[in-house]
Structure formats: C-alpha cells, structure tokens
Structure 1
Amino acid sequence: MVDEYGNETGDFVSSTINPSPVSWSRGELIFQVFCLSLIMVIGIIGNGLVIVSVIISRQLRTVTNVYVVNLAVTDLLTVLNMPWTIVAMLSDRNGWPLVDWLCVFTAGCLIVCVASSIYTLAMIAISRLLVVTRLRGGDKALPFKRYWIITALIFIWSISIFMASIPAIFGVGQLGYDTRYSSCTWVSSDPKSSTYSAILAAVLYPVPLVVIVTCYLIIFRHFHKHTEKMMCNANANTNSATSSTNGQQTSRNAWTAGQKGSMQHRLNKMNIKVTRNLFYMVVMYAICMTPFGICLLATGTGSIKATPYAAVILMMNSCINPLIYAVKHPHFKGVFKSILTCRLKSIADRPYDIRNT
C-alpha cells in the first residue's frame, strides 16, 4: 500500500460523493419535457376547476370536500412549480442557471406537496371510516366538528413541512440542484443523501398507505355486513306483515318500516358511491407513487436510470384526481360543465352573489 489513502479507496469516495450524471438522449429529454408540460396544463385547469367548483356550489361544501380542496391546492402548487423543474432539466450539465434559492424552494415545495397529498388521502380514509362505520351523530359527529378538521389540516401541513425541513434542521441531505438528474430535488452528491431518501420513502409511502388500506378494508367489510343486515330486516318485516292479523296497524307499521329501510338503503348507497370514488383516488396515487418509492430504496444502476421516469409518473397524480371527479362524481361533473360553458346560472345552489352573474 503506497499510503494511507490508496487510489482505489480514493476513487470509491469520489464516486460516492460525486455520482456520475445520468445521460439522456435528445428524444428522452423531449419526451420528459412534453409529459411534464402536459401534466402542468391539465393540472392547472383541473385543480383550478375543483377549487372554484367548491367555492360556487354549496352542495359541494362537505367535510370530505375540505380534504378534496386541500388535495387540489397541493396538486396545484405542484404543477405551478413544474416550469422550474423543466428549466432544471433543460439546463443539462451547465448547472442551475437561476438563483440558488429558487431551486431550493422548488425542491422543498415538491416534497411538501407530495407529503401533503398522501397524508390528505390518509385523512380522507380515516374520516370516511369514522363517518361510515361508527358515528351516527350527523353534524355532531367527530369528523364534522370544526376543530377536528382544523387539527387534521394542521397535522397534514406540519408533517409535510417537517419532511422538507429535515436537511436544514438535522443536516441530513441537502435540497437544491442535483447534477445527477439535472433537477431541483435533494442533492445526490451529499454524503447523507441516501439516508434522506430512505426517510422520505419510509414516511411518505408505507406508513400512510397501510393506514389507507386498513381503513378502506374496514369500510368495505362494514358495507358488506350492513347490506346483509338490511336484507335480513327487510325479509323479517315482510314476514311479519304477512302473518299479522291486525291489517290496518300492520299495514302502517310495514309502510313505516319500508320507508325507513328505503332511506337507509339510499344513505348506504350514497356512502358506498362516495367511498368508492375516493378509493379510486387512493388506487391511482398508489400506482403513481409506487415506482418512485421503489427507486428511492433501490440502489442499482437500473433504478438510477428509471428514477426520472418514475418522477414523471408521480407528477401525473397531480392532474388525475380532477379527471376522476369529472367522470365519477355527478355533481362535480355538472359544476365543471357549467363553469367550462360559462353557464353559472345553471348551478342552482350557487351563492347569492353569483346568482345574478
């Protein structure tokens, strides 16, 4: 050994601290920029429509839609920061061409928005679980209380901002321009970059996803049992009405029971429809998030090359949710159509100050 720091060890340290940049062909670069630009346009229009729809339609001002609006806000912030992501990609190996703080801000905003999205979906799942399975108090139920909603939103944004602040607070990782991927994220040349990637992957993927999946499994199990119970009650009421000798009273009781059963059936059907639509959002987020989460944890050459494409798939989630509302949610669909065709008067439950427009 020539000296204490041999050439082989030195080369290893150099390659770890200064990872070789990922090279893309011109076609790959154009494809990624095109995808991000398309996501940006659809995301701005779609999420803007969601926010405006809840503002101008009283029927859409529900507790669940508070979280839907929060999700739309995070998605809108994500796509509004995409121009800087595109600038970083087009800068190639010349480095970040603008002021450094803008790249750091873009990276932090991206992490905050991704974290806020997944934890908002987790809070939606918890809220639906409480509403559907246990609580029957209407406006007095816990998910409908103002302090519950405010606390939930504070928690969502606090943990999201905390995740983006870990490099500044604990010195784990560094936000800014990453020369490996030509992007404004966390710097892969930082010695603790892999640790920060592992923290993000653990906190933003398996933990909330387990909560979401567990909540929806319990919800669907409850719906199944509730449907079976309603069918049994309906059969019991029918048999009771047939065997009773007091015709007039029995007819009245049967009619009352039938009305209650019909109302419960409609309520149960509505809850199932709302929960199913929200579940679609969760499935799409899992599909979009999974490739990126795998790339964060994997260390092979293939995962490094695939990371930018996984990031594009993750960004797609920012424009998918409004499309789900437009297709699956009848009232959102109607309000979207009224806004796009400039027929606000067709929205019957719009606020008074919009009725005369």
Structure 2
Amino acid sequence: MIDLSNTSSMPEDEEEDNLGPRKGLAGFLGTIAVLGFFGNSLVVLAVVLYPKLRTITNVYLTSLACSDILLSLTIPWLIVGLVSPQGWPLSDESCILVAIVRFTCSGSSVWHLVAIGFNRMILITTSSETYRKIYSRANTAIILMVTWLIPFTVIIVPYAIGATELGYDDGPHLCSDIEDRPDGTENLLHTYIAGTFLTCIPLFIVLCVYLRIYVHVRLHVRKQNAWSSGHQKQQQQQQNNAVATVSSTVQDPGLTEKQIKEGTKSSERFSENNAGGAGDQSKAAHENKTKNPTAATNKPPAKKGNDLETRITKNTFYVVVGFLLCVVPYGICVLNRFGPDGTPLGQGFLLFNVCMNPIIYGTKHPHFRAAIRNIFMGRVSGPLATSNSVGPVSQTQGTA
C-alpha cells in the first residue's frame, strides 16, 4: 500500500501550483494521442486497401505506424499520472506495464528508421537481383522482429535482473524508470543503456546510411552529366563528318554521279535521324536493351534526382529529420531541466513524433498522398490498386 505522505517532498500548496502546468501539458499530450492514433491508423488502412503500397519499404513504414499507434495508446495512461495530485491511482503493475510499452515503442521507432534506411540504401546502390535476395519474405520478417526485440530487451533484461526499477516516478509524474534509490543515491543505468542503444547508436547508423545514399546519388548524377556531354560531342562529330563528306563529294570532279548521290543521301539520312527527336531515341534505346542487355546496363539511366525511388528515399529521410527535431528539444529539456517544476516538458516534444510521421506521408510521399486522398473521398479502389501480390519491389518502380 502506498504511503501518500511520503510520495512527494513538495509542500501541498507547491504541488497544487505545479498541477496547472501539468494539466496544460496533459491537454497537449491528449491532442497528440488523438492525432497520432488516427493518423497512423490511416497509414495502415492505406496499405491494407491499396495493394500497390505493399512494398518492402512500406512494410517497415506500416510497422513503424503500428509502433506509434501503441505509443499513442499509452499517452492517456501517462495523463492519468500527470494530472493526479496524489500519485499513481492504479496498481503498480499497470504503471510498470505502461512504462515497458512506452520505452519499447519509442526505441522500436528509432530502430525502424535504421531498417528503412538500410532498405533504401540497398535498393538504390545495388542491383535488383541483390535486393530481392536480401529482402526475401523470411529476411524481411526477421528484420522486423529485430527492430522490436532490441528495445524490448534493453528495457526488460535490466529490470528482470534487478539492475533497474520501473514504476511511477514522482519527479516527472510519469510511469517511467525510477532513478532515486531508497538510500538517496541515483541509479542512472537505465538512462545510459536506453540513451546508448535506443538513441545514439541507431541515429548514428541512420545518418551514415543516408550519407552513403547521398554520395551514391551525387556520383550517379555526375556520371549521367558526363555521359550526356560525351553523347552530344559524338553527335556533333558525326554531323561534322557528314558535312565534310558532302563537301568533298561535291568538290571532287573525279567522282561519278552515283557516288555524289550516295553521299547526299547519307547526309540526308543523318539529318533525318537527328530530327527524329526523343521518340526515335527512346525506341532505339529499347531495341538496344532487348538485343544487348549489357550495353543497356552500361548506359546511364535517367537522373536520380527525378527518379521515384529517390523521391521516396527523400521522404523517408524527412521522417528521420522529424524525429531529430523532436528528440533534440527533449534532450535539452532533460539535461537542463527546462520547464515548470514537476512537469515533464521534454516528453511533449518527444511524443509529438507519433503524429508527425502521418503528416509527412500525407504531404510528401507520392503514393501515400494519393491513397489518403482517395480514402477521404470515399474511393477504396482506384489507380493505386494494381497488384494483389506482396513481394520484393522492382528496382525501378518500387512496387510489389
């Protein structure tokens, strides 16, 4: 049984003064919970309704949305402890469960960003055959399991062996890890472990992965520009040779009339080929690709800056940037103890991430934007529903 007289060292009037800011933060967290739950549910619904969205990358995005949904469901329980003037009003076991789910979902969100980053890097920097071998159904399931198992292990193992303690923390008035020991010392083991394995390491990996993607895309664009410049010079040289052939044909009196006509026809054919435009070049490129796959592979493709896969990769990187914009203010508030006393202001910034991802998908992702628009307009079938299979995506189209 909890001794309410010892749950807090604050005087009663000071506790009531802090209750006002805590209620304001509770209202903000309640708004986040509603937006996060319905927004991420909309993302999951879009993947369920539109088979074209069932790509390998979107499997991880859907799992990330499920993690944010669970985290949204823990926020009302956090609000209960936040606005209660007498501590946690329910059983200790329920508070421990809320803390475990909250830490697991928060850590899983970060490791999902790692999985998504690796998926985009392998898709863009390797061949389609390599991509399909790595992201088979079995491997995809294993990677998903790991993204959930790492944060759960980081939380549950130290608690199970008694190295850390979970429950209601009177300082921030949340179901969290308890740092204050009965002897007055602090136990920061959970803070160090969670900060290392659930924040620093995964975010460092994510930044390295997207830096690798950026370098690859930049090199690809340079090669494309160099190839285009060389191709233009080759066309100009062919044109000059044709003009020189016609000039020498006309000026040489020793040539027969038949040779003169052949030289003129050669020049005309070259002019017609140049006037054919992009359509003839595209047709020739297609025929060359069919007859000689190796030569077609050596030819640089279209610029990655305008490629759909690069656009999707940029949007997934926006998710990483959004998380950083939430975790940096959280770290500043925690380390410098900003905000009213007893008010976990940093949690407001950190939990805002649960409703940020659907906003990014709905405004930036080309496929999700169309799917969400169709859902709001009541169209559950349309141009997005093109396939009923779930499998490795195409190297160029990114669909199953």
TM-score, normalised by the number of residues in structure 2: 0.75
**Which residue pairs with 1:292 in the alignment?**
330
Match of 1:103, as an amino acid? Answer: C
**Which residue pairs with 2:350 in the alignment?**
314
Deviations 1:29-55 (A, max 9, x none): 222011111101101110000001001
How far apart, in 2, do the equivalents of 1:312 and 1:105 lie?
Answer: 20
**Which residue pairs with 2:30 in the alignment?**
37
- Residue 239 of structure 1, aligned match among 233, 239, 261: 233
How far apart, in 2, do the equivalents of 1:126 and 1:295 lie?
Answer: 31
Alpha-carbon spacing, 1:97–1:277, altered in 2? closer, same or farther (3 Å): same
Higher helix share: 1
Alpha-carbon spacing, 1:276–1:140, altered in 2? closer, same or farther (3 Å): closer
Deviations 1:317-349 (A, max 9, x none): 001000001110122112112222322244551
Match of 1:328, as an amino acid? Answer: K
Deviations 1:48-72 (A, max 9, x none): 0000100111111111111100110
User: What SS class does the counterpart of residue 106 from structure 1 fall into?
Assistant: helix
Equivalent residues in 2 for 1:172-251, closer than 5 Å: 172-190=163-181, 193-244=187-238
**Which residue pairs with 1:52 in the alignment?**
45
User: Which sits farther off after the overlay, 46-55 or 123-132?
Assistant: 123-132
User: Which sits farther off after the overlay, 172-181 or 311-320?
Assistant: 172-181
How far apart, in 2, do the equivalents of 1:215 and 1:341 lie?
Answer: 37
- Residue 136 of structure 1, aligned match among 111, 127, 133: 127
TM-score, normalised by the number of residues in structure 1: 0.83
The structure showing larger relative contact order (alpha-carbon pairs under 8 Å, at least 6 residues apart) is 2
Alpha-carbon spacing, 1:313–1:301, altered in 2? closer, same or farther (3 Å): closer
**Which residue pairs with 1:338 in the alignment?**
374
Cα contact 1:139–1:145 (8 A) shared by 2 = no
How far apart, in 1, do the equivalents of 2:222 and 2:376 lie?
Answer: 42
Unaligned runs of 5+ residues in structure 2 are: 1-5, 243-265, 287-295, 389-400
Alpha-carbon spacing, 1:172–1:19, altered in 2? closer, same or farther (3 Å): farther
**Which residue pairs with 2:302 in the alignment?**
264
Report how far residue 86 of structure 1 moved: 0.7
- Residue 146 of structure 1, aligned match among 116, 137, 148: 137
Report how far residue 291 of structure 1 moved: 3.1
User: Which sits farther off after the overlay, 19-28 or 199-208?
Assistant: 19-28
Cα contact 2:305–2:311 (8 A) shared by 1 = no
**Which residue pairs with 2:148 in the alignment?**
157
**Which residue pairs with 1:70 in the alignment?**
63
* Residues paired across the two proteins, number: 332
How far apart, in 2, do the equivalents of 1:200 and 1:212 lie?
Answer: 17
How far apart, in 2, do the equivalents of 1:114 and 1:53 lie?
Answer: 23
- Residue 329 of structure 1, aligned match among 342, 365, 373: 365
User: Which sits farther off after the overlay, 39-48 or 163-172?
Assistant: 163-172
Deviations 1:136-191 (A, max 9, x none): 12575344322321221121111111022033333222111111221111123235
- Residue 90 of structure 1, aligned match among 71, 83, 104: 83
Structure with higher Rg: it is 2
Cα contact 2:82–2:174 (8 A) shared by 1 = yes
Report how far residue 199 of structure 1 moved: 1.4
**Which residue pairs with 1:278 in the alignment?**
316
Cα contact 1:172–1:192 (8 A) shared by 2 = no
Cα contact 2:332–2:338 (8 A) shared by 1 = no
Alpha-carbon spacing, 1:49–1:132, altered in 2? closer, same or farther (3 Å): same
User: Which sits farther off after the overlay, 244-253 or 175-184?
Assistant: 244-253
Alpha-carbon spacing, 1:155–1:340, altered in 2? closer, same or farther (3 Å): same
- Residue 121 of structure 1, aligned match among 113, 121, 138: 113
Cα contact 1:115–1:160 (8 A) shared by 2 = yes
How many percent of aligned residue pairs carry the same amino acid? 28
**Which residue pairs with 1:11 in the alignment?**
none
How far apart, in 1, do the equivalents of 2:117 and 2:384 lie?
Answer: 30
How far apart, in 2, do the equivalents of 1:243 and 1:194 lie?
Answer: 72
Alpha-carbon spacing, 1:43–1:186, altered in 2? closer, same or farther (3 Å): same
